[in-house]
Amino acid sequence: MKPQAVLFDCDGVLVDSEPVTFALIQEDFAAHGLHMTIPELEPLFIGHTIEETGRYARAHGADLPAGWADGFYDRMCERLAQGTALMPGVPELLDALDRAGVPYAVGSNGRMQKMRATLGQHPAIWAKLKDRLFSGQDLGCPKPAPDLYLTAARALNADPAHCVVMEDTPTGARAGIAAGMRVLGYAPHEVNPDLRAVGAEIVTSMFEVPRLLNL
C-alpha cells in the first residue's frame, strides 16, 4: 500500500551538504584550540544541532566565543550557497511521488536559513518543497524527539502510522520510529549498522525507493 505521506530529512538525504559542513566545523574548532579529524567529528555530530556541537566543543577545550552558533551558521550557509549538490535520484523520486499523488515534506534539525541556502539553489526542487519545510531548531523540537515529524504529518493531514520517513542518521531514525512511522535509512556510501540497529530499513539508492513505497 502506498504511504499517505513521505517525510524527508534534508542534509545527507536531499542535499549533499555534510562534507562542506564538517570541513567548516573542523576549521572553526582548530582555530579555537580543538583539533579533530573529519572521521572523528562525523559520528559525534551527524544528526545533531549546531548548538549541541558548540556545547561539545566547549566541554572538550574549544574556546568558542559567545554567539558562536549564530556566526557559524551564517558562514556555513554562505559557503553552502556557493554550490550544494542534490543527492542522486532526488528529482526522480519527487517526480514519482507527484505522479502517485503522495504528498511529502522535509523535517530537518537545521534552521530554515540552511534549507534556503541548500535547497533554494535548485529552483525546480525549491518550488516543490518551499511550503513544506519544517525546522526542528526553529520549532523548538529537534530530533530525536518525534514532534518534528508529527508536526509535518499533521500539516499534510497524514496518519503517522501511514507515513514513511527517510533518514541518514540514527538520531533522525529514532525520531521517525518514536513518531510511529516506517523509517528508511539512507546509506548511499556503505551500509550503516547504526541505522539498522535503531530499526531503520537500509536503502542504498533513491532509485530503490519508488518500489519500496509501492508507487
One digit per residue, pLDDT tens: the chain, 215 residues? Answer: 899 999 999 999 999 988 888 888 888 888 888 898 888 887 777 767 778 888 888 888 888 888 888 888 889 899 999 999 999 999 999 999 999 999 999 999 989 999 999 999 999 999 999 999 999 989 999 999 999 999 999 999 999 999 999 999 999 999 999 999 999 999 998 777 889 999 999 999 999 999 999 99
- Single pTM value for the model: 0.89
Q: What does the angle CA 156 – CA 213 – CA 147 come to, to the nearest 5 degrees?
A: 40
Identify the CATH class of 17-82.
mainly alpha
From 3.40.50.620, 3.40.50.1000, 3.40.718.10, 3.60.150.10, which CATH number describes the 5-16+84-213 domain?
3.40.50.1000
For residues 118 and 111, the answer to whether their CB atoms sit within 8 Å is no
Residue 41: per-residue pLDDT: 81
Q: What are phi and psi of 15, to 5 degrees?
A: -130, 150
Residue 55: per-residue pLDDT: 86
Q: What is the DSSP letter of 205?
A: -
The domain ranges of the chain are: 5-16+84-213, 17-82
Sequence letter at residue 196: R
Helix (H) or strand (E) holding 104: strand 104-108
Residue 171: per-residue pLDDT: 93
Q: What does the angle CA 193 – CA 194 – CA 195 come to, to the nearest 5 degrees?
A: 90
Residue 66: per-residue pLDDT: 85
Residue 50: per-residue pLDDT: 79
| Cα dihedral 166, 172, 174, 176 sign | negative
User: DSSP 3-state assignment of 114?
Assistant: helix
For residues 15 and 85, the answer to whether their CB atoms sit within 8 Å is yes
- Give dist(CA 45, CA 159) in Å, integer: 31
Residue 73: per-residue pLDDT: 83
Residue 154: per-residue pLDDT: 97
